[in-house]
């Protein structure tokens, strides 16, 4: 699992652990051959019993074992490997196999287990995962160095589940690297603070950390100038592009509203909406008939109720589990709403149940301004559970007109309901600008960037003064010149440019320590531009610019790794020499004792 995102370098951790475990097993076997084996055999028996208890508890959902921070999927998948390792260890202790064989087998098993089960993943269809859909073919043919984002209207972002039916045609962020495409929605453990701030702005202040190791920024504001500055030329959309909903409430867990105990949701500020989208399910409300109002949404402004809207069973929400599962839930009197997300659970008897969150789109009939929303549950029994509430902002018709002007459809895949739009306002990955604006701080630079008042194609925002020879242009800047990327790789970028006046070469790649710039072969300073990007000052004329990544940390890490490898090799050689000496000493035969029988006296 970790091999598919930037944490793939951690393969060295289970490798080193497995080597150490192999040495440990070998040492235990050697000690057992020299003395008492009872303690080591007892230890193996305890480990086997512990594995059996964890497996049984997770497999049959014992309440007293559910609190153990280990997923049932990981237990089921790893049990055969650990069981095999225990058998090899017991066999080695009993003298039925050599210790070296047991150590090597254990090392291989640990490496295999770590590769297959890190993060308690599930098995997937690799053929479907790495399939090349028509969206990929189009982008590889047309996008070049331009970036893209994916947008799923149904879940308000790209698919949250890796093997979701939409993940491959929408090009999940992990797949963009595999297909050699450029997606700003990168997913990984590396957090660059200024990049995170820009993505939060695109996501309207929302970010999500998955499993504490993978960072999932979500693009929700398709009208932001940041999208143009990143050079996002294509938007891969599930269905026709519509006005993005904004987040009113979101919770990593779940919240339940019961009769007499409403859930109160306070907005950060007064908002205006004409439509509410709620992600929810009913539990214990099987008797609610089709069309019955099971909850009431009430909206308040300045302490006064201004509107109400019902949440209807079978239309906006439904019973959580499969309606046909009469064994578990009995007969359900309402139908299914539009599913937002589904999953499977198993009963104690091993029967599978299909659960779902449902998408309830509630039209308010008019634009309502409010600062608080209450969710009242109406039936006597059961509850309404929800995790997310979105809203369509007021003035959405004007926003839709602007989006239709800005985004033009250029590709359709009807079989997967995929539409690719070209962003006509996207800026190139690199271009020249003739005007400079200096901000007093990073916060001011971000504010100027987001308010839309700066023409980003003509002016660059710095956080320090430009070099003395640079003359700022006043008023309307003339055509600054042109720049072209002649080579682009992860560690080196080359440009050919021609500046008509003192200009800055702006590059929409993130500013990061370790990047150095050469202008016509001479070192040049790289400025932090437009809050998070790079810019290099250029005098008039033609120039060849090279940016290369040469951080000191790489050289230091390479040196440490080389020293560690030499120490490891030296240790292995020394251990082999000592082992050979022990074998020779054990193989020397003692001189045979000669018995001289006295001859018979003649």
Structure tokens at 163: 């093997």
Whole-number Å distance between alpha carbons of 365 and 27? 76
Structure tokens at 289: 């008939």
Is 330 in contact with 352 (CB distance < 8 Å)?
no
Q: Which residues of 33-59 are buried (b: 16+ CB within 10 A; e: fewer)?
A: eeeebeebeeebeeebeebeebbebbe
The reported pLDDT for the residue numbered 1 is: 35
Whole-number Å distance between alpha carbons of 158 and 169? 11
The reported pLDDT for the residue numbered 326 is: 45
The reported pLDDT for the residue numbered 211 is: 37
Angle between helices 38-59 and 12-34 (to 10 degrees): 140
End-to-end CA distance of the chain: 91
Is 485 in contact with 505 (CB distance < 8 Å)?
no
70 DSSP 8-state letter: S
Whole-number Å distance between alpha carbons of 545 and 551? 19
Taking phi first (over 0 means left), then psi (-120 to 50 degrees means alpha), and beta for anything else, what does residue 421 get?
beta
What's the length of the chain?
A: 602
CB atoms within 10 A of CB 428: 17
DSSP code string of 439-454: -SSHHHHHHHHHSS-S
The reported pLDDT for the residue numbered 96 is: 61
Whole-number Å distance between alpha carbons of 574 and 206? 56
The reported pLDDT for the residue numbered 163 is: 56
Question: What is residue 513's three-state secondary structure?
Answer: coil
Question: What is residue 62's three-state secondary structure?
Answer: coil
The reported pLDDT for the residue numbered 230 is: 93
CB atoms within 10 A of CB 490: 6
Structure tokens at 154: 């149904």
Radius of gyration of the chain (CA): 32
The reported pLDDT for the residue numbered 476 is: 44
Whole-number Å distance between alpha carbons of 497 and 545? 8
φ, ψ of residue 78 to 5 degrees: the values are: -90, -20
Please write the tens of the pLDDT for every residue from 474-532: 444 556 889 999 999 988 999 999 998 899 999 999 999 889 999 999 999 999 999 99
Whole-number Å distance between alpha carbons of 451 and 444? 11
The reported pLDDT for the residue numbered 550 is: 87
Residue 115: name the closest of 188, 186, 17 by CA.
17
Is 102 in contact with 91 (CB distance < 8 Å)?
yes
Residue 510: name the closest of 494, 529, 532 by CA.
532
Tell how strand 352-377 and strand 263-283 pair up: antiparallel
Whole-number Å distance between alpha carbons of 172 and 187? 9
Element (H, E) at 438: strand 435-438
| Residues of the chain under the 70 pLDDT cut | 1-48, 50-52, 54-86, 88-129, 154-165, 187-190, 204-218, 252, 322-330, 347-351, 471-479, 579-602
DSSP code string of 356-411: EEEEEEEEEEEEEEEEEEEEEE-SSSSEEEEEEEEEEETTHHHHHHHHHHHEEEEE
138 DSSP 8-state letter: H
The reported pLDDT for the residue numbered 412 is: 95
Question: What is residue 165's three-state secondary structure?
Answer: coil
The reported pLDDT for the residue numbered 199 is: 84
């Amino acid at each position: 699992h970790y091999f598919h995102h930037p944490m793939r370098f951690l393969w060295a951790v289970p490798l080193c652990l497995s080597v150490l475990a192999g040495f440990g097993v070998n040492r235990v076997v050697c000690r057992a051959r020299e003395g008492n084996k009872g303690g080591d055999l007892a230890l193996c028996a305890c480990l086997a019993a512990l594995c059996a208890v964890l497996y049984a508890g997770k497999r049959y959902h014992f309440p007293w074992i559910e609190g153990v921070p280990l997923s049932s999927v990981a237990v089921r998948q790893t049990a055969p490997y650990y069981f095999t390792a225990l058998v090899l260890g017991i066999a080695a202790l009993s003298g039925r196999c050599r210790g070296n064989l047991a150590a090597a087998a254990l090392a291989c098993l640990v490496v295999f287990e770590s590769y297959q089960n890190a993060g308690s993943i599930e098995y997937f269809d690799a053929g479907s995962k790495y399939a090349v859909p028509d969206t990929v073919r189009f982008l590889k043919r047309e996008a070049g160095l331009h970036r893209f984002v994916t947008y799923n209207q149904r879940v308000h972002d790209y698919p949250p589940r890796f093997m979701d039916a939409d993940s491959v045609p929408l090009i999940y962020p992990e797949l963009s690297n595999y297909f050699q495409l450029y997606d700003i929605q990168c997913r990984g453990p590396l957090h660059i603070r200024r990049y995170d701030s820009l993505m939060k702005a695109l996501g309207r202040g929302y970010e999500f950390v998955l499993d504490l190791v993978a960072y999932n920024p979500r693009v929700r504001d398709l009208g932001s100038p940041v999208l143009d500055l990143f050079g996002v030329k294509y938007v891969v959309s599930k269905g026709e592009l519509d006005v993005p909903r904004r987040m009113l409430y979101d919770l990593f867990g779940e919240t339940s509203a019961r009769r007499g105990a409403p859930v109160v949701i306070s907005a950060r500020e007064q908002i205006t909406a004409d439509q509410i989208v709620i992600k929810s399910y009913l539990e214990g409300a099987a008797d609610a008939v089709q069309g019955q109002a099971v909850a009431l949404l009430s909206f308040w402004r300045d302490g006064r109720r201004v509107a109400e809207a019902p949440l209807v069973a079978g239309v906006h929400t439904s019973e959580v589990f499969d309606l046909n599962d009469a064994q578990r839930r009995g007969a359900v009197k309402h139908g299914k709403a539009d599913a937002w997300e589904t999953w499977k659970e198993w009963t104690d008897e091993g029967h599978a149940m299909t659960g779902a969150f449902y998408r309830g789109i509630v039209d308010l009939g008019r634009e309502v301004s409010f600062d608080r929303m209450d969710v009242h549950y109406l039936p006597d029994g059961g509850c309404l559970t929800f995790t997310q509430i979105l809203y369509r902002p007021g003035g959405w018709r004007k926003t839709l007109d602007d989006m239709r002007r800005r985004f033009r459809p250029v590709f359709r895949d009807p079989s997967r309901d995929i539409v690719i739009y070209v962003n006509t306002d996207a800026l190139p990955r690199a271009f020249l600008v003739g005007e400079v604006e200096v901000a007093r701080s990073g916060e001011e630079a971000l504010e100027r960037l987001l308010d839309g008042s700066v023409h980003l194609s003509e002016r660059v925002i710095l956080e320090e003064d430009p070099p003395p020879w640079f003359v700022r242009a006043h008023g309307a800047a003339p055509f600054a010149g042109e720049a072209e990327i002649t080579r682009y790789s992860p560690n080196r970028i080359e440009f050919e440019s021609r500046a008509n006046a003192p200009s800055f070469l702006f590059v929409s790649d993130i500013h990061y320590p370790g990047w150095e710039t050469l202008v016509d072969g001479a070192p040049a300073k790289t400025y932090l531009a437009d809050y998070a990007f790079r810019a290099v000052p250029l005098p008039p004329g033609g120039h060849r610019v090279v940016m290369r990544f040469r951080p000191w940390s790489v050289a230091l890490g390479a040196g440490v790794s080389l020293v560690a490898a030499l120490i490891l090799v030296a240790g292995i050689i020394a251990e082999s020499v000592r082992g050979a000496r022990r074998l020779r000493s054990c193989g020397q035969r003692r001189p045979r004792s000669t018995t001289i029988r006295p001859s018979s006296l003649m």
